[in-house]
Amino acid sequence: MTPDFTLFFLLAFALTLAARLWLKFRHIRFITAHRNAVPADFAARIPLAAHQKAADYTVDRNKTVIFTTLLDAALLIILTLGGGLAWLHDFWAARLDGLSYGLAMIFSLMLLSGILDLPVSLYRQFVIEARYGFNRMTLGLFFGDLLKQTLLGVAIGAPLILVVLWLMGAMGPNWWLYVWLFWSAFNLLAMFVYPTWIAPLFNKFSPLEDGEMKSRIEALLNRCGFRSSGLFVMDGSKRSNHGNAYFTGFGNNKRIVFFDTLLSRLSPPEIEAVLAHELGHFRKKHVVKHIIVMFASSLVLLWLLGQLIDAPWFFNGLGVPAQNTTLALILFFLVMPIFTFPFSPLTSYLSRKHEFEADTYAAEHTAAADLSQALVKLYEDNASTLTPDPIHSMFYDSHPPAAQRIARLQLQEKPA
């Protein structure tokens, strides 16, 4: 079966790569074709210059994605059929064994990926983001963040990897179930720990000051029956001019966080409407549904890995003559994105459906016109394109196109 699986892998690889590149080039052509005219629904609210800026910004970002897609594809072939992973195995197997070998293998690949990604990240931040006036980050802050992320990755990732590899080797044929239980528990714990212990390592979180804004938000929370552990403002402006708001945490440890850039650009009624949208995700149980889907899919994937871990054709077909749990784990997660790519429209559809539901909830508890106006401002301030390619959007966009969201909100506007 080895030659057959190699051909199957190469066919899936080629089709997925071609589809991703086709979608990106199609997206760029579509945006460029609509660059010189603001869509009719936005003509009175978005200047042509802002629309063109969003088009150019989106095109430049997608050109970078094309480059990284080709780079990732080349790296995958080099590591698998090119013999890179086999060489790495021979190198570490001659020096280490057991869990230390597994840790060295996985961290070596993470280091390689980080080195290749570094120039792209620098270009994205200090060329593209700076070109369009979004970058506020210094080189010192960039590398400071990178150091913190690396240290956290080692401090958290090393024990996590060791436990997973130990479970894979010690729990017999049903190891995948034990790994899934551990992985699920770890993710739930991370939701509790992140707001209090990890996020403050990168940003300053200040309690929202008393005033009209806080009073409106507290009244909204009371109307919606939502309890949080606090309202906070994050100093997002020290890195970027992009604005946002989000929930973080889980259970009684939920926090509502506003970027300082968002508060400076939206009026109190508009901020209230944006928050009502986020509350809609909570009330419609979107977060819980997302967690259930994530846990269910991880269970299926781990079960599938459990069926492949003892199959020589899986290793040999991907260019790795050796066979062990570490290599199985690495190979599986290297190639799985190729085979899961066709499901992207389904996950994007579910996400966009949740966004529409959250918009509807917001329109029931605040003025739909306020949310509509807030979205228009955010699209303009963040240089989000108003004319995405429909097929590209179907695969990649977690949020509905601007025209669809605004049109639905206009239908929900209540008479004065």
* Domain CATH code at residue 246: 3.30.2010.10
Same domain, 261 and 292: no
Tell me, yes or no, if 278 is annotated catalytic.
Answer: yes
Cα radius of gyration (the chain): 24
Q: Is the pLDDT of residue 175 over 80?
A: yes
Average pLDDT, the chain: 91
Same domain, 120 and 213: no
Q: For residue 200, what pLDDT is reported?
A: 87
The mean per-residue pLDDT over the stretch 132-148 comes to: 94
Residue-level length of the chain: 416
Kindly write down the DSSP assignment for every residue of 231-299, as one continuous string: EEEE-GGGTBS---EEEE--GGG-EEEEEHHHHHHS-HHHHHHHHHHHHHHHHTTHHHHHHHHHHHHHH
Q: Is the pLDDT of residue 413 over 90?
A: no
Q: For residue 40, what pLDDT is reported?
A: 87
Within-domain flag for 21: yes
Same domain, 101 and 23: yes
Q: Give pLDDT tens digits for 25-46.
A: 999 999 999 999 999 889 888 9
Identified catalytic residue from 270, 278, 355, 380: 278
Identified catalytic residue from 129, 270, 359, 381: 359
Give the angle subtended at the CA of 333 by the CAs of 68 and 102, to the nearest 5°.
110
Within-domain flag for 250: yes
- The last residue of a domain, from among 346, 365, 393: 346
Q: Is the pLDDT of residue 246 over 80?
A: no
The verdict on pTM exceeding 0.95 is no
Q: For residue 350, what pLDDT is reported?
A: 94
- The last residue of a domain, from among 346, 363, 379: 346
Instruction: Decide which of 288 and 192 is more confident.
Output: 288
Same domain, 7 and 95: yes
Same domain, 340 and 241: no
- Containing domain of residue 67, as a range? 2-135+288-346
Cα 293 vs. chain centroid, distance in angstroms? 15
pLDDT band at 348 (very low <50, low <70, confident <90, very high): very high
Question: Which of 411, 374, 350 lies closest to 276 in space, CA to CA?
Answer: 374
Burial 354-383 (b: 16+ CB within 10 A, else e): bbbbbbbbbbebbbbbbbbbbbbbbbbbbb
Within-domain flag for 293: yes
Tell me, yes or no, if 359 is annotated catalytic.
Answer: yes
Within-domain flag for 323: yes
The runs of H, that is alpha helices, within 194-241 are 212-224
Same domain, 9 and 119: yes
Least confident piece of the model among 129-133, 239-243, 283-287, 373-377: 239-243
**Pairing of the two strands 205-207 and 231-234:** antiparallel
Total domains, the chain: 2
Same domain, 254 and 298: no
Same domain, 101 and 208: no
